């Protein structure tokens, strides 16, 4: 390449240790991912605190954001898991805010996208499934395992159905985490590759310089697309969390 900086689309996902720390043999270093997780939590907290600090009858901008987000998540949760599911509202709201802000902040250039790390998304998915399993067993005891035995199946087929349902249940956290991770990873790699085309064409000179704005246009369109994906993936993650929580609240279906 003729460019001074070789463009590496994977570089943006590199986790750097800022403060190396080791605790009981595990690497718990403070990394750039940790920084951005703290930023996300700070932004979410400030947004909700300032939004609800001096509430008026006619809401201002921040208050509107806080209220719309609250009502959106509350209606989503109540629609899929009923009134009993509302006890999980703080949990679901935190998950949505974290994933949505992580996706959104990740779009800003030079930031780190936390949700493009499989470890983070799998951790989130395991928290969701762990909550479902633990709450389901505490609330319903052995009745919770009725989830794996669909009703109206002939006794001969039942063992196979149970096996298939168990595999399907185990696949939930995997599909939940891989979907979010892969969407963010693919989108960000595409953006950098498109940006690389602009730099490469400009450097190539003559005729190529004239067509250089074309990939730039694609970058702009893709950014809008990425904004939609950021919201949509956070929403999908949240709505599936609600659906899975519904299994813990009402296991017999």
Partner 1 sequence: MQGQDDGHEFGQDADKDEALRARLQSLSHALNAQSTDAESAQTDEKRVEKAQRSMSLAMSLGFRVLTEFVAAVIVGGAIGWQFDKWFGTSPILLIVFLGFGVAAAFWNVYRMASPKGSRDRLL
Interface positions with partner 1 (CB under 8 A): 80, 160, 163-165, 167-168, 170-172, 174-175, 178-179, 182-183, 224-225, 228-229, 232-233, 236, 239, 243, 246
* Closer to partner 1 by Cβ: residue 115 or 246: 246
For residues 130 and 245, is the Cβ–Cβ distance under 8 A? no
Nearest distance in Å: CB 225, partner 1:
6
> Which residues, other chains included, contact 191 with Cβ-Cβ below 8 Å and sequence gap of 6+?
219, 222, 223, 226
Element (H or E) spanning 64, and its range?
helix 61-81
* Closer to partner 1 by Cβ: residue 102 or 242: 242
Residue 84: which of 211, 249, 228 has the closest Cα?
249
Nearest distance in Å: CB 88, partner 1:
16
* Closer to partner 1 by Cβ: residue 140 or 179: 179
The CA distance from 234 to 182, in Å, is 13
* Closer to partner 1 by Cβ: residue 43 or 236: 236
* Closer to partner 1 by Cβ: residue 188 or 196: 188
Nearest distance in Å: CB 253, partner 1:
9
Nearest distance in Å: CB 141, partner 1:
24
The CA distance from 31 to 26, in Å, is 14
Nearest distance in Å: CB 80, partner 1:
6
Nearest distance in Å: CB 196, partner 1:
23
- Using alpha carbons only, what angle is made at residue 96 by residues 65 and 128, rounded to the nearest 5 degrees? 160
For residues 252 and 146, is the Cβ–Cβ distance under 8 A? yes
* Closer to partner 1 by Cβ: residue 36 or 247: 247
Q: Between the CA atoms of 124, 125, 130 and 132, what dihedral angle is there, to the nearest 10 degrees?
A: 120
For residues 192 and 7, is the Cβ–Cβ distance under 8 A? yes
The CA distance from 250 to 188, in Å, is 39
């Amino acid at each position: 390449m003729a460019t001074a900086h070789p463009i590496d689309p994977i570089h943006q996902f590199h986790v750097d240790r800022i403060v190396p720390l080791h605790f009981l043999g595990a690497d718990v270093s403070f990394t750039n991912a940790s920084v951005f997780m703290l930023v996300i939590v700070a932004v979410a907290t400030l947004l909700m605190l300032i939004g609800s600090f001096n509430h008026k009858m006619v809401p201002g901008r921040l208050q509107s954001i806080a209220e719309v987000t609250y009502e959106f998540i509350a209606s989503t949760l109540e629609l899929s898991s009923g009134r009993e599911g509302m006890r999980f509202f703080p949990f679901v709201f935190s998950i949505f805010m974290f994933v949505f802000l992580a996706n959104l902040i990740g779009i800003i250039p030079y930031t780190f996208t936390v949700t493009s790390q499989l470890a983070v998304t799998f951790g989130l998915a395991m928290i969701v499934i762990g909550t479902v399993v633990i709450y389901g067993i505490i609330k319903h005891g052995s009745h919770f395992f009725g989830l794996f035995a669909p009703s109206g199946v002939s006794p001969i087929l039942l063992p196979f159905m149970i096996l298939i349902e168990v595999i399907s249940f185990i696949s939930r956290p995997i599909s939940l985490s891989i979907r979010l991770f892969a969407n963010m990873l693919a989108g960000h790699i595409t953006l950098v590759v498109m940006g690389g085309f602009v730099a490469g064409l400009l450097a190539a000179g003559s005729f190529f310089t004239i067509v250089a704005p074309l990939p730039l246009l694609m970058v702009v369109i893709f950014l809008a697309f990425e904004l939609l994906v950021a919201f949509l993936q956070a929403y999908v993650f949240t709505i599936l969390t609600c659906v899975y929580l519904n299994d813990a609240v009402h296991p017999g279906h």
